Chains A and B, each alone.
Chain A
Amino acid sequence: MGDLEYVGKRILRKDGPEKVTGQAVYTVDLQLKNMLVGRILRSPHAHARIVRIDTTRARQVPGVKAVITGKDTLGVKHGFVETPRYPADQYPLAMDKVRFIGEEVAAVAATDVYAADEALRLIEVEYEPLPAVFDPEEAMKPDAPEIHPTHPKVKEPVMNIGGKTTSEWGDIEAGFKEADYVREDRFESHLRTHGYLESQATVASFEPDGKLNVWTSSQGPFLKRAKLAKTLGLPFSSVRVLKTYVGGAFGGKVDLFSHEFCAALLSMKAARPVKIVATREEVFTAFKHGQPLIVTVKTGVKKDGTLVAQQYRVINNPGAYRGSGVVVIFLAWGFAMPPYRIPNFKYEGYSVFTNNPVRTAQRGHGAPQLRFAVESQLDMIAEELGLDPIEIRLKNARESGEQLPNGDNVHNCGLKDCITEIARHTDFHHARGGRGENSSQRYKKGIGIGVSSYFGGSLIYPNSSSVIVKMNDDGSVTLLTGALDIGQGAETIHSQIVAEELKIPMDEIQVIAADTETTPVDIGSWISGNAYVCGNATRVAAGNVRKQLLELASQQLEASIDDLVLKDKKVYVAGSPSKALTYGELVALSIQTRRGDPIIGEGHWRTMRDEPTHPSLATTKGRWTENYAFDAQTAEVEVDTETGKVRLLRAVTAHDCGFPINPLLVEGQIDGQVSMALGHAFMEEIMMEEGRTLNPNWLDYRMPCIRNIAPSEHIDVITEQYTVGQPYRTKEVGEGYVSAILAAIANAIYDAVGVRLFSTPFTPEKILRGLSIYS
């Protein structure tokens, strides 16, 4: 990658100046003429039949322009997953039943928030409460209240199953018999949330000509358009989702939310724009958090540490509707099988309905929970066998070219290098046990390692990306992409790719993005495929433009294409720089000589372009991805044995990221994920009691602040490269680094003080209780 000018460079982000001057417009900042305020009425019951709703008095409040309930909708359901096996299961506004506290029951649009809330107060709802259940293992029992009928494909006598995933290869019983040592452990990951700084917000404006314009804080406009159109009964062409800046999402803004639907329907009824902004408290109580997971893992190994058999039982708590629950039980399998070779394997995952608010994807989507379990257990196994944590991982780690049991190939896999590099970089073996200094200290140090894998792009709607690169008359370029920048720098890296393919300065590339009307489709910024899938589409589109430039220049300059060089918006003959044509001249030439055609390039890309569809969420059969990323992370911690508080002293991330398109942005992703993992490990927990959230604010749901900075280092293990004109495989960096580090922290705590933790968060109380067992 030696002679690249843009790709691989620390280029400053294009939208930086707008953000740093306060000019960037987020959905919540939009003001349209005659705009109304929308508010939502929420259920106070965890499980109840709706007997009657009367909105008469609400409609009479001065300033109220529209009131809607389930009866005003088409009764069309939506869901994170909508497949024949897992059809959509949630109404945007409750119809006959509510199944969680906070569920949306009605909505109001009024001229000001006081009128709107007064109207909400006057909506009369008669409920008939039903028994409720909140714990997934309780909800599975035969005598549990039924929230939804158990999935018809699940034959065993368990209640409330939203979905099940099973996968198996080899012979698990034979595997355990063959093993020298077998152990089984149970790990629990608790409820935590995304904590995006920009609250959820939507502005919807239904125009007189029948066009619905929507601005919404999301992770991709195409999915939102599809679900809005479907639930509103509008053709796609009538629904336009436009771009706004997004103040963070992390998986929490992917699929349809009730308030988006309500803003649109209220606007249709009131014939005025409607803005709905969720309060931070609503986000904490009624919106979608991450998925808590119970992971029971049984592993058999030979005495030299070789994995022989591994069996999983995973129970998910997706809340009252399927949410992304059936995806996470698939993904938990997906994150179990790539890093290590496991000859005999059995997996069973249940997604169990409970009367809690619906849960959704959160950065890592199952990987943190799964890797925490596996990597903790692996350390326990190593200790039992007298092996060291590095050795046992190297023994089992996959290598380049290995075929995976699901038919995927890992292609270039740098996992072993990640492990050896990180061990060397941290002087891992000497760092263990606090370098021998721990014994009588109050503060004890330890180091731990974790390994993880992630995927870059998969086949789930909207599936693919398309990009258009238009050359302007002066040789500058406009890039049209459906990709949405949610803070990760999408617009910047795509500009870098165009800049590299066409040798155009970054500031001569204008990006028009994320508008369902004017930009082509994009898979969305939630499937870890932006750099790989949309990036390759951008490359193809830019390459298309380059081809046209070269062909025109070749003709005009009477030179072979192989002798032409692109540089500084010019094409010239190698060795004779005066024989050149500027891009502007080439555009004019195109119009003159190609019957009026300007220079426009289009590019399309999809992961696994020859695969018809996504893998089966239930059986895991089918190709999942062609892009596996691997990483090893270490954590060095200091445990205060008197207070139980733990400080993360140093986090190192050795990542097989393929190659970084923008190292500055990649570092930002690593730092952010280490911080998120730190929060997950030490301080974040949504406390719930019978379906109600106890800490719906940032005082009592503690996210890391600047006091909790963890020095974060990284080692790039480069396994891919970018070549102009060639498809590339760069791996993902946006979600993969929240997982191994969590396990590394757990392992580091054990190394420091001998306390093994089986559930997150690792609170001071848990550590003190662990220590008190030994004293």
Chain B
Amino acid sequence: MRTKPSKRLLELTINGETYELAVEPQETLSEVLRNRIGLTGVKEGCGTGECGSCTVLVEGEPVLGCLLLAVECERKRVETIEGQAEEGVLTPVQQAFLEKGAVQCGFCTPGMVLASTALLKRRPNPSEEEIQEALEGHLCRCTGYNKIMEAVLHAASSAADKR
């Protein structure tokens, strides 16, 4: 068994807050977020990059927390699902997922919401093809994706109505 490598002090910026942690190199971003900081909204469905449940935003881009080392995320802006709603007010994407019935067991939901949020930021009015491209890495076994697609389209159009 390998000996424990030395921990290094790491400064992570998560949902706008700064955390200083002693972290081993092999700890993934998901593990640190979930186990060290307690942000269990970051799910892990497989750990090998195949399901999208662990999606978080790093510098606004959706990436897989299970395949990123925490030590590589220093000084990068990390956002999880817990950082989306502000003071209890749900974002348009979160609200749309609720209203359209796009949530069943909820396990894929954080990843879906974050990836959809990132999509709408760069493409406020996406086509169905663009939504598929953004979410094709996210497995959902409950909804069949129909209502998820509706939710994202609805979030896009209701944001458009507000503009």
A interface residues with partner B (beta carbon < 8 Å):
10, 12-13, 15-26, 28-29, 31, 114-115, 118, 194-199, 245-248, 250, 279-280, 486-489, 664-665, 667-668, 671-676, 697-699, 703-712
Contact = CB atoms under 8 A, between A and B. Distances in A.
B139 A22 contact: no
Contacts of B78: none
A737 to B, nearest CB: 11
Contacts of A250: 141
Contacts of B85: 21
Nearest to A670: B144
B160 to A, nearest CB: 21
Given A246-B105, A248-B107, A697-B48, A22 B40 contact: yes
A63 to B, nearest CB: 10
A712 B84 contact: no
B132 A706 contact: yes
Contacts of B35: 31
A664 B143 CA distance: 11
B147 A487 contact: no
Given A17-B98, A20-B94, A21-B41, A706 B136 contact: yes
Interface stretch (B6-14, B57-65, B69-77, B108-116): B108-116
A665 B101 contact: yes
Q: Interface on chain B toward A: helix, strand, loop, or mixed SS?
A: loop
A197 B140 contact: yes
B120 interface: no
B38 to A, nearest CB: 7
A706 B135 contact: yes
A20 B39 contact: no
B126 interface: no
Nearest to B26: A114
28 contacts: A17-B98, A20-B90, A22-B41, A22-B42, A197-B43, A197-B45, A197-B107, A197-B140, A198-B107, A248-B142, A250-B141, A280-B45, A487-B106, A487-B142, A489-B104, A668-B101, A668-B142, A668-B147, A675-B141, A675-B144, A698-B46, A698-B50, A699-B50, A706-B149, A707-B132, A709-B146, A711-B146, A712-B144
Contacts, number: 176
B51 interface: yes
Best-surrounded residue of B97, B98, B146 (most CB of chain A within 10 A): B146
Given A197-B139, A248-B142, A668-B142, A706 B105 contact: no
Contacts of A707: 132, 136
Contacts of B147: 667-668, 671
A18 B85 CA distance: 11
The 10 closest A-B pairs by CB, nearest first: A22-B41, A487-B105, A19-B106, A675-B144, A247-B107, A22-B81, A29-B40, A671-B144, A698-B50, A197-B107
B53 interface: yes
Contact of A22 (B48, B82, B146): B82
Contacts of A665: 101
Contact of B80 (A22, A195, A248): A22
Contact of B104 (A22, A280, A668, A709): A668
Given A20-B103, A114-B1, A707-B132, A280 B48 contact: yes
A664 B101 contact: yes
A21 B84 contact: yes
Interface in B83-130: 84-85, 90, 94, 97-99, 101, 103-110, 113
Contact of A12 (B38, B98, B137): B98
A419 B35 CA distance: 53
B90 A28 contact: no
Nearest to B2: A114
A24 B108 CA distance: 12
Contacts of A675: 141, 143-145
Contact of A709 (B34, B39, B94, B145): B145
B32 interface: no
Contact of A197 (B39, B51, B101, B145): B51
B103 to A, nearest CB: 5
B156 interface: no
B51 to A, nearest CB: 6
A15 to B, nearest CB: 7
A558 to B, nearest CB: 45
A668 B145 CA distance: 9
Given A26-B107, A487-B104, A665-B101, A21 B1 contact: no
Contact of A712 (B90, B99, B109, B146): B146
A710 B1 CA distance: 49
A22 B144 contact: no
Given A280-B47, A699-B50, A19 B143 contact: no
B106 A245 contact: yes
B131 interface: yes
Nearest to A701: B50
A664 B38 CA distance: 33
Contacts of A115: 1
Contact of A13 (B41, B103, B135): B103
Given A12-B98, A248-B142, A706-B131, A21 B104 contact: no
B43 to A, nearest CB: 7
A697 B80 CA distance: 25
A662 B130 CA distance: 31
Contacts of B109: 19-20
B91 to A, nearest CB: 9
A281 to B, nearest CB: 8
A668 B143 contact: yes
Contacts of A712: 144, 146
A197 B42 CA distance: 13
A19, A674, A706: most-surrounded residue (chain B CB, <10 A): A706
Contact of A20 (B40, B53, B97): B97
A200 to B, nearest CB: 12
B29 to A, nearest CB: 15
Interface in B10-39: 34-35, 38-39
A246 B139 CA distance: 16
A22 B42 CA distance: 7
Q: Which of A26, A118, A487 has the most CB of B within 10 A?
A: A487
A365 B85 CA distance: 40
Contact of B94 (A21, A246, A668, A710): A21
Contact of B141 (A12, A676, A709): A676
Given A197-B45, A668-B147, A712-B144, A16 B139 contact: no
A674 to B, nearest CB: 6
